[in-house]
Amino acid sequence: MDFSSDNRMGVNPEILEALHAANKGPAGAYGHDDMTRSLDQVVGDFFGTKVSAFPIISGTAANCLPIAASTPPYGGIACSEGAHILRAECGAPEFFTNGSKMLPVAAQSGKMTADALAALLAAYPASNTDTTVPAVLSLTQVTERGTVYTLDEIAALTRLAHERGMTVHMDGARFANALVTLGCTPADMSWRAGVDVLSLGTSKNGTICGEVVVFFNPDRAENFRRYVKRAGHMMAKQRFVSAQVVAHLANDLWRHNARNANAVARRLHDGLARQEQVTILHKVEANIMFVALPAACVQALRAQGFAFHTVGQDAVGQPVVRFVTSFLTTEGDVDHLLAAISKACA
């Protein structure tokens, strides 16, 4: 039973059917196919505004290519100190931007605060021509700690960034899970809150590989194709990536999947909260949670075949583990894990 990450899961049958349906005859290459041509409209309808949308096969590239298109090499990329782009992309932002500077901002439970961002920006004044120019603000929604920014929190951060002329990027690897949590529209959580460009992830929520870079101001996408091509991410057979995205957004498949992941995470959270030897470390607002457990309990769970990541230790030296639920995790899976923890911790 696997609680390591939602990217370990398979895919919805609807996605496989969409691939099968896209596999008919020849089609234009490099995005010049009907499916990819429809993306601006399909994704635009989803967001209730005009967009430029580009299918990309990895989240790392879907983050770093639009960031690269939004900063000069002497620019800086502000992100939370725990951001995926800072910690888990092997320097890809620096690589794709020709060495722009990462500007980590202090965060609480994964969320950057407006005060911390303001302090960072003050340390890089526009008047100083010898210093890095803050060019991009990148926010992750759901955050890497499993929390979710409220719409007001996003708006407060994007306002500060826009006052400095920065581009706001959102890493939406789990955008659907956050939407389900907030119960708002995709528009509310993106362009209406000041997001300029979004990396909309779908692979953790039911596709094989179907991330989308969404520019909410199509003018800004003018040279984006060149960034994609130059980086070796211009797939010839893009129709198969686009088909996954279209199927994912159709019939609320994204919502159905994310609802399940969040609901079983809530069930796991509630069960863990009842166990005395378990400490839940951050608010559980989507499908990721961090908990401290006795080392013997962690060992017992591993011996029984449960898979999950250990991510460090808490203040008293207990292992901290991360549990992630997915669109395929069942209530039965969660109850099984809870029973095993209850027994191992007893």
Q: Which residues bind ligand PLP (CB under 6 A)?
A: 7, 58-60, 63, 84, 140, 144, 171, 173
Radius of gyration of the chain (CA): 21
* C-beta of 111 vs 133, nearer to ligand PLP: 111
In this structure, the chain runs to a length of 346
Q: Would you say 86 or 297 has its CB closer to ligand PLP? A: 86
Q: Which lies closer to ligand PLP via its Cβ, residue 86 or residue 243?
A: 86
Q: Which residues pair with 167 in a beta bridge?
A: 136
Residue nearest to ligand PLP (CB): 59
Min CB(230)–ligand PLP separation in Å = 18
Nearer to ligand PLP, 157 or 340 (CB): 157
* Minimum distance from residue 262 beta carbon to ligand PLP (Å): 15
**DSSP state string for 173-237:** TTHHHHHHHHT--TTTTTGGGT--EEEE--GGGT-SS-EEEEESSGGGGTTHHHHHHHTT---TT
Which residues pair with residue 111 across a beta bridge?
Answer: 108
Q: Which is nearer to ligand PLP, 63 or 326 (CB)?
A: 63
Residues 6+ apart with CB under 8 A from 28: 34
Of residues 16 and 208, the one with the C-beta less far from ligand PLP: 208
How far, in Å, CA of 52 to CA of 211, rounded? 14
Q: Which is nearer to ligand PLP, 104 or 294 (CB)?
A: 104
Two tokens at 31? 């995005």
Instruction: Tell me the H-state helices in the chain.
Output: 13-22, 34-37, 39-47, 59-68, 84-87, 92-96, 114-123, 151-163, 175-182, 224-230, 239-249, 253-273, 295-303, 331-345
Cβ-based nearer residue to ligand PLP, 62 or 338: 62
CB of 60: closest distance to ligand PLP in angstroms? 3
Cβ at position 6, least distance to ligand PLP in Å: 8
Q: What DSSP state is assigned to residue 286?
A: S
| CA distance linking residue 198 with residue 171, whole number of Å | 6
Closest approach of Cβ 153 to ligand PLP, in Å?
17
What's the closest the beta carbon of residue 25 comes to ligand PLP, in angstroms? Answer: 30
| Residues 247, 22: Cα–Cα separation, whole Å | 11
- Minimal distance, residue 277 CB to ligand PLP, in Å: 28
C-alpha–C-alpha distance, residues 266 and 306, integer Å: 19
Shortest Cβ distance from residue 140 to ligand PLP (Å)? 5
